[in-house]
Amino acid sequence: MSGRLAIVLHSHMPYVEGFGTWPFGEEWLWEAMATSYLPLLDILDGVPGGRDVTLSLTPVLCDQLAAPGAGERFLAFLRDVRRASHRLDVDGCRASGRDDLADELARAAWDYEWAADRFRALPGQDLLAALAPHAAWCSSATHAVLPLVATDGGVRLQLRAGIDAHRRRFDAAVRGGHGWRGGLWLPECAHASWLDPLLEEAGVHATCVDLTDVFGYGDARHLRPLRTDAGPLLVPIDRQTMELVWSADGYPAHGHYRDYHHRTTHDHHPWAVDGSVYDPERARARVRVDAADFVARTRERVAGGGLAVCALDTELLGHWWYEGVWWLRAVLEECVAQGLELVHLDDALAHGDPEPAAPLPPDDRRVTSWGTPRDLSTWDAPGVAELAWQMREAELRVVAAGADADPRAVRELLALQSSDWAFMVTRELAGTYPVERAAGHREALDAALGSVGSSEPTVRHLAPHATAAPLLEP
């Protein structure tokens, strides 16, 4: 029996709305909207098979998309920043005799004009509402690495705040009004067996895990969901399938594609990976080749049956990999042409036959993640130990405050627990920005616990319905 493919797109953005602009801050959100989320919407809504793509939206991303004034600031960014920055680079290239680069930059500027027109055409200019029918999977409130949370109550807070927010927003719209079916993206795929009862308690029926180092790369067991003793299904992501795309020598590394790392003065990308001036038609031709190759290799991978789960960050498609959304469209078309069944992950799990739980991981003191390496060192190694300690110490102080804890302290705790700050420090992605952000949330939490009535919360729109109640349960 031939197997199936599930494409899972995990959509997440650090809580940057209202926190800085260029080079670090809410510009990241506007870029993701323009280059990933809006183009993806056309695939989900308008391409056969698009509704079988499994979309995960984190609550912290949704909080930002729903923030008052976010749409107006997004349009202002496209109009006042991106239009001007392209013009500056075009003029600079022409002045230096590089008309070939200038022509490509002028063409690329229209991507942002398209995004502005596409956003204005949305009913109510509401991107979140447009994504709602596809918002099948949720996540914890602020993308905390759950095995690093100090208490069961802290895990409950992250899960409950995230799931409640997701259901408030999407239950009436997602997949024909059937509501959330229990799929939860574990932040960073960070799993430990002691989390399973808490996941089950929160209503989680399935979550994705990375068991590459448990089963071994390419093992057929990655193609079979596993049922835990506590109840939730563990769905292995399949590295053999994913790394066709997401690896140092994956498809985006081909010389015909646009080079994300080679930038102009004003942060644009007119070069291809092979160093030539970027040619979109040449890249589109390569997309067809790589999409056909992906589907053919996936068919071979699941020829003996099973479910290959290809999980990718949504922002890889369009933002990091300029041609990624084109590639996704071509993959959907190739699945039909080559006879590979693409299935929504919820549907696959509803009708599947999971294997009994294996000892995952063999030692309960170990955890798995999709970090590098596949443990927690990205978030708790010596270089970020201070952040990890501050997060846990702050949680214990909020728990100690009990029912008297100011709701502001709860929300600042959620912000502090985000996996993004340590990730950015470890990867050296954003200078001092993540350390400063964590420090700001810690200071605001201190003020809230000190009952300083005049202190202003730093979290304007984050987790508005979160309370301390889950922290206080036995």
User: Catalytic residues, which ones?
Assistant: 188, 313
Residues 290, 291, 295: CA angle, nearest 5 degrees? 115
CB distance 96 to 90 below 8 Å: no
Report the C-alpha gap between 380 and 397 in whole angstroms. 20
Report the C-alpha gap between 236 and 307 in whole angstroms. 9
CB distance 40 to 344 below 8 Å: no
- From residue 426, how far is each of 90, 109, 216, 307, 435 by CA, in Å? 35, 33, 26, 33, 11
Of residues 312, 307, 311, the one with CA closest to residue 348: 307
CB distance 180 to 163 below 8 Å: yes
Which residues is 137 bridged to in the sheet? Answer: 56
Of residues 374, 448, 454, the one with CA closest to residue 411: 448
Report the C-alpha gap between 472 and 33 in whole angstroms. 37
- From residue 75, how far is each of 30, 109, 274 by CA, in Å? 9, 14, 33
CB distance 376 to 195 below 8 Å: no
CB distance 5 to 302 below 8 Å: yes
